[in-house]
Structure 1
Amino acid sequence: MIDLDDFDLPEPPVAPMGADGDVRFDQSDIDALFGDFDGPVAKKKGLRAVIESAVISHERLPMLEVVCDRMVRAFASSMRSLTTDAIDVSLENVTSIRFGEFMNRVMLPAMVGVFKVQEWESFGLVTVESSLIYAVVDALLGGRGGGAPTLIDGRAFTTIETALVSRMLGLALKDFSTAFEPIEPINIDLERIESNPRFAAIAGTSNICAIATFRVDMLGRGGEFTMVFPYATLEPVRHKLLQRFMGEKSGRDSIWEAHMASEIRKTNVSVNVVLGEKAMPIAELKALEVGQTIALHKSPDDALDLACGGVTLAQAQIGQRRGKVAVRLINDVSQGKMKS
């Protein structure tokens, strides 16, 4: 049997005692327990610092906000027709966030719809929180509303609930396509609905996304749904979404453009018909006399070049009309051999 008294063990540290008998700790004791937090913190450098930065530098997309405002009015009418209830739809905000951070903020249970923009061949998300899901199901199944909020029991959504919410999402995506039409016509199709956000990953966690949050209120019940557009999805129309108002032409004046086009069409130009070409030495050229014939090796039925400013515009044939020498075009000017 081992007796601990046979070993010389170090004495445990004793905390200093105050005058009143309380145990006192100074900063060195605290640092020994929890570590020294006053030392320099290693800063992230390079690409990791950019990727893991919490600050997002993004371009504001004014036209996306206009599209969302137009969608609010159309979607409110669509929901009134669907539920025959008094529906109030409002736009909460339009902002940007990293995709991974947004997916971590999704409160479960929730439905995550994956939609595809056919023209861009890109995907987006629409998330519906549980309170709006139960409100839509209650309204479509004949509930009167106005009662206590539905408690979340943690169960999975049924097929009927998913189908009813899909009808609402189909209307929302259709109205968004209609609101987006003045910028560019698009078709959006709902691909699938997931209940687990991990199965709806359409972008990298560090990718920046534009999100638009909408709130739907119906007789004291309702909730929010959010549309998520990765910046890669909006890239084909990014230059249009940067416009400040609908129909902006980036400084172009259509009135002056039409005026200049009409005046250019009235401009007179000289057109030459090239009967033929022949290369000859300068000495032979100087020896030419009046009445001498130059053979061009062209027959009357051969096509001639119609040129302007040394540029061949089209092909033509020579003839007579009303006692004057005339030419008749064989092909259009736009289809001629444009060669200098």
Structure 2
Amino acid sequence: MSGTQNANDIRDMLLDSAGLSLDRLPMLHVIFDRMTTSCAEHLRHMAASPMYYSLSGLESGRITEILEMYEANAVAGIFHAPEWDSHILIGFDRDFIYTMVEVLFGSDGSEPPVEEARGFSTIELRMAQTLFEQVAKALQASFALVADTKFKLERIETRMDFAVIGRRNNQAVAAKFLLQALNRGGEMFVVIPQSVLNPMRKVLSRVVSGESSGRDPRWMKQIATEVKKTEVTLKAVLEERFLSLGEIADLKVGDVIELQATPRSRVKLEGNQQGLFWCNIGQSEGTYVLKVDELIDQEKEFLDDVLPR
């Protein structure tokens, strides 16, 4: 028994020193993709302004190296995972906090972003605590794919050297998320010790078909909704005339340009310099209106322009 235990300890030590190959853990990407979708859903219900939330990358390294770049520039929540007998860390950088404060308090983004390097206020820390709890629930639900565990917030730290989740030189995996709102944004990061993931390597190495945020119906619905909100300028073209530069230079006030169009001529409806529909023009209550008659065949239009008539 002791021999087997020693062998396992030596194996874990070798794995910890070598670091995980993230490319061989596709389920880890799926978990954080699902977490991204869940966080986006929660944040959208909390704020009136549109926000965009995305997974920007996964990386592995020593805990001290990962947290070093956030020193004096982030707030971190330390969570205990009882089932794993370990701790994880969730953090928001300064820009993330400032952006969320503006969004939640109804800013329209007209004022320049805050760039002051100062300590976090009580309001900012309370907001961070609320967000930590929401993110932890999203992470817990996402990890349910491979392991059930709860994440309990133990404390909040603003100094990364006090954000202890294990030995500083131990290996860990960091997932980074990008928040964009009000023409500004910030970063959220999740740090999980490699010793927690090692026992789940076999499960995390599985490839599950269809488990990606790109196929998540809620994510697809969100994208479709935002795309439909895009404003497009339409242009109604009655007729186009081609004039030489000399003819245009000779034009003066009072000149008349003859058109071949008649009241029965169809009008081309364009968007972004692309023909969309053929329409009939008419009048209704004293204004001109267009009635869509036919979808423009792009291939036919191209051939008509290229082939000699």
Normalised by the length of structure 2, the TM-score is 0.58
Aligned partner of 1:202: which letter?
I
Q: Deviations over 1:63-116 (max 9, x none)?
A: 111101111111101001111321111111111011111122214231011112
Q: Deviations over 1:242-289 (max 9, x none)?
A: 222279xxxxxxxxxxxxxxxxxxxxxxxxxxxxxxxxxxxxxxxxxx
Query: What CA distance in whole angstroms lies between the structure 2 residues aligned with 1:57 and 1:201?
Result: 19
Aligned partner of 1:192: which letter?
R
**1:172-321 → structure 2 map (5 Å cutoff):** 172-245=135-208
Aligned partner of 1:162: which letter?
L
Q: Evaluate the alpha carbon distance shift between residue 117 and residue 57 of structure 1 in structure 2; reply closer, same or farther with a 3 A threshold.
A: closer
Query: What CA distance in whole angstroms lies between the structure 2 residues aligned with 1:96 and 1:81?
Result: 32
Higher gyration radius (CA): 1
Question: How far is the alpha carbon of 1:179 from its aligned partner?
Answer: 1.4
Q: What SS does the corresponding residue of 2:135 show, helix, strand or coil?
A: helix
Aligned partner of 1:184: which letter?
A
Q: What SS does the corresponding residue of 1:240 show, helix, strand or coil?
A: helix
- On the 8 A contact 1:146/1:221 being kept in 2, the answer is no
- On the 8 A contact 2:76/2:89 being kept in 1, the answer is yes
Query: What CA distance in whole angstroms lies between the structure 2 residues aligned with 1:139 and 1:121?
Result: 36
Q: What SS does the corresponding residue of 1:119 show, helix, strand or coil?
A: helix
- On the 8 A contact 2:19/2:171 being kept in 1, the answer is no
Q: Deviations over 1:179-208 (max 9, x none)?
A: 111222221122211011111122222211
Q: What SS does the corresponding residue of 1:161 show, helix, strand or coil?
A: helix
Tell me the percent identity: 30
Query: What CA distance in whole angstroms lies between the structure 1 residues aligned with 2:209 and 2:132?
Result: 26
Q: Evaluate the alpha carbon distance shift between residue 181 and residue 57 of structure 1 in structure 2; reply closer, same or farther with a 3 A threshold.
A: closer
**1:1-340 → structure 2 map (5 Å cutoff):** 57-60=19-22, 61-152=25-116, 154-245=117-208
Q: Deviations over 1:116-146 (max 9, x none)?
A: 2232121011121101111111222222224
Q: Deviations over 1:131-165 (max 9, x none)?
A: 1111111222222224312122x322122110111
Query: What CA distance in whole angstroms lies between the structure 2 residues aligned with 1:229 and 1:136?
Result: 24
Q: What SS does the corresponding residue of 2:31 show, helix, strand or coil?
A: helix
Query: What CA distance in whole angstroms lies between the structure 1 residues aligned with 2:110 and 2:36?
Result: 23
Q: What SS does the corresponding residue of 2:39 show, helix, strand or coil?
A: helix
Query: What CA distance in whole angstroms lies between the structure 1 residues aligned with 2:140 and 2:31?
Result: 9
Query: What CA distance in whole angstroms lies between the structure 2 residues aligned with 1:146 and 1:167?
Result: 26
More helix by share: 2
Question: How far is the alpha carbon of 1:168 from its aligned partner?
Answer: 1.5
Aligned partner of 2:86: which letter?
S
Normalised by the length of structure 1, the TM-score is 0.53
Instruction: Give the unaligned 5+ runs of structure 2.
Output: 1-12, 211-309
- On the 8 A contact 1:117/1:188 being kept in 2, the answer is yes
- On the 8 A contact 2:92/2:189 being kept in 1, the answer is yes
Q: Which has the higher contact order (CA 8 A, sep 6+)?
A: 2
